């Protein structure tokens, strides 16, 4: 499979007073286009930090992330912001939806930021919300949606700009088992039908068994 992301000697430390906490300790791995990659490990192993660095939400202390043959941390702040908006989709445990906006307005946001015309963004957002099973809920605000429906809106938002890579950090951590299964089936369907590449941090053993490949982190290293 063709390589999408190459992680090389990735290290990340955080300052705490005079001390330094090393969270990632020289990781090396690649992510193929169209792959479903799981990331597992105990709390504090560095899973979320790794996702934040791959998604350019945080910079590494050392090492590099090469995305489609481009080293992303050689970009300036403006270029990085554009890269995140166009190339990466994020789905977090807490969906981070804007409560005053409807489902369709939340999903439209990445396209509006990307300077897409509002009417075109609305058409695309409605199409994606229909794909994730929310055709009849597009004008509901998050407070009127169930937890699973809110997470589907968050997934639709992540898909809005047709990103190359979707990063999901415990995306069903607050959901019941049946809703979690539905969300993960949605991920696998997007992967099968659209070739979307996913990296998913999870503690869900059922999901782990279905992944193409799994990386286990322990104490900031791959084991």
Confidence of residue 108 (pLDDT cuts 50, 70, 90): very high
What homologous superfamily does CATH list for 3-222?
P-loop containing nucleotide triphosphate hydrolases (3.40.50.300)
For range 116-127, the mean pLDDT: 92
Distance CA 158, CA 90 (A): 5
Q: Helix, strand or coil for residue 200? A: strand
Distance CA 182, CA 180 (A): 5
Determine the angle formed by the axes of helices 147-159 and 177-194, rounding to 10 degrees: 20
Task: Flag whether pLDDT at 206 surpasses 80.
Answer: yes
Inter-residue contact 37 to 47 (CB < 8 Å): no
pTM of the model: 0.89
At 154-169, the pLDDT tens digits run: 989 998 888 999 999 9
Distance CA 79, CA 85 (A): 10
Q: Where are the domains of the chain?
A: 3-222
pLDDT of residue 18: 78
Lowest mean pLDDT across 6-15, 89-98, 162-171: 89-98
């Amino acid at each position: 499979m063709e390589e999408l992301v190459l992680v090389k000697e990735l290290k990340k430390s955080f300052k705490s007073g005079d001390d330094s906490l090393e969270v990632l300790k020289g990781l090396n791995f690649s992510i193929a286009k169209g792959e479903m990659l799981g990331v597992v490990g105990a709390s504090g192993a560095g899973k979320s930090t790794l996702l934040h660095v791959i998604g350019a939400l945080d910079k590494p202390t050392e090492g590099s992330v090469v995305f489609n043959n481009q080293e992303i941390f050689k970009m300036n702040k403006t270029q990085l912001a554009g890269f995140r908006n166009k190339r990466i989709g994020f789905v977090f445990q807490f969906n981070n939806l804007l409560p005053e906006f409807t489902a369709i307005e939340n999903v439209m946001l990445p396209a509006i930021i990307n300077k897409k015309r509002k009417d075109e963004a609305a058409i695309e957002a409605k199409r994606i919300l229909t794909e994730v099973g929310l055709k009849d809920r597009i004008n509901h605000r998050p407070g009127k949606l169930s937890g699973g429906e809110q997470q589907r809106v968050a997934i639709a938002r992540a898909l809005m700009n047709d990103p190359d890579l979707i990063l999901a950090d415990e995306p069903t951590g607050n959901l019941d088992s049946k809703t979690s299964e539905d969300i993960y089936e949605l991920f696998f369907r997007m992967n099968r039908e659209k070739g979307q590449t996913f990296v998913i941090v999870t503690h869900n053993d059922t999901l782990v068994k279905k992944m193409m490949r799994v990386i286990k982190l322990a104490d900031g290293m791959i084991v």
